[in-house]
Amino acid sequence: MPEALRTFIHIPPDSPFPVENLPYGVFRRRNESNPRVGVAIGAYVLDLGVLEHKGFFDELPAGKVPLFMQPSLNAFLEAGPAVWKQARRIIQELVTVDGSSLKEDIELLEQVLVPLNQAELLLPVEIGDYTDFYSSKEHATNVGTMFRGADKALMPNWSYLPVGYHGRSSSIVVSGTPIRRPWGQIKVEGADAPIFAPSRLLDFELEMGFIVGPGNALGEPIPIEKTPEHIFGMVIVNDWSARDIQKWEYVPLGPFLGKNFGTTISPWVVPMEALEPFRVPGPRQDPEPLPYLRMSGDQAFDIHLEVYLKTEKLAEPVRIVRSNFKYLYWSIYQQLAHHTSNGCNVRPGDLMASGTISGPTKDSYGSLLELTWKGTHPIELPDGSIRRFLEDGDTVIMTAWAEGPGYRVGFGTCEGTILPAR
């Protein structure tokens, strides 16, 4: 891996946002109303909208359409990988010690370096469509074992294709947005008929997601070797799940109201170029995937994942999960290739989530369903309280980062607090 880059902007050693990262997001100053695109660097947001207005991105071949003075990343996503690469080079040159024209312009620096604590972070993309996969073999095996037994844990198709379903984009929210406990039909064990009540088995799901770039035309699949050209970057995803609602409704068509009440994503989109140094081999795939899902080279990424739980009585959040994105069986490239293999068109800003990411050990399981094994082995918290599933007032905090030599490429946090049912 290359050595850490130097910048004139003060960045603490443990910052998730060094110059090697530069994740994109959408923000507005707390006293302003107009959102625009920025990148996180240290404890600041670098205002790309103002820099664009002042001509710093004039060399980008994007025509007359502004890319950064926009309320979402969608125009930038549509511009494609050549523009992404060139924009990243310009930004890195602006903030590095050598050759920066920004360093000496104190007045401009005060305009474009916005302290994070003075910025309101918004949903970074306008998400037209959302697909959630089921790509962790450990998670699928755990859940299948609970409900069908170890001998029937994986369905026959699971090892041949990335299983997925279409979620609801309208209920995707940015980190920090509270989640209301949902109502739904629940069939209690031993009852003859369901009741309509607030979910009693509310859960989190530790996931990562990728954001689609240019996309494809209807009827024209994206070959797997071309998928990197259509994946802009990644976010943390918490796809909240009401297990009791889901259990009653999911046969025969899969998740519905047990999932679509809320999905939380982190505000920063880490570009794939920043994650390239952290490529690693993925799990061995057996049987060998069909030809349209085969791709040479390392397709997984070494990204550390953690989940913390904060209750109303705990003074500090407590870590309950340590996992890694590299455990995912089906890669993001296989997911996108399969998604479009029938000619389905994807569009700039579409979100594709991994499904719950679980590892081989109990502390790496990515949901309370697994951590407590369907509630039969509750988690004991430092104050002596226990959790089988989430209670009102609980806050779930997810974080992710890739470790480089002397720096971290971080995603920030993905947080949400459970509000009582209406």
Judge whether 139 counts as a catalytic residue: yes
Residue type, 413: T
Which of the residues 10, 53, 139, 339 is marked catalytic? 139
Distance CA 369, CA 146 (A): 9
Beta-carbon contacts of residue 104 (< 8 Å; ≥ 6 apart): none
Long-range CB pairs of 82-89, under 8 A, 24+ apart, other chains included: 84/213, 84/232, 84/271, 84/273, 85/273, 86/59, 86/60, 86/61, 87/57, 87/60, 88/22, 88/271, 88/273
Question: DSSP string covering 230-250, please?
Answer: GEEEEEEEE--EEHHHHHHH-
Beta-carbon contacts of residue 28 (< 8 Å; ≥ 6 apart): 34, 35, 36, 119, 120, 122
**What is the b/e burial string over 202-223, where b = at least 16 CB atoms within 10 angstroms of the residue's CB?**
bbbbbbbbbbbbbbbeeeebbe
Distance CA 396, CA 307 (A): 7
Distance CA 182, CA 167 (A): 16
Distance CA 334, CA 288 (A): 13
E strand or H helix that includes residue 45:
strand 44-47
**For residue 276, how far is the Cα from the chain centroid?**
17
Sign of the dihedral through C-alpha 273, 278, 283, 285: positive
The DSSP call for residue 113 is E
Distance CA 56, CA 22 (A): 17
Distance CA 286, CA 271 (A): 30
Q: What amino acid positions are annotated as catalytic residues?
A: 139
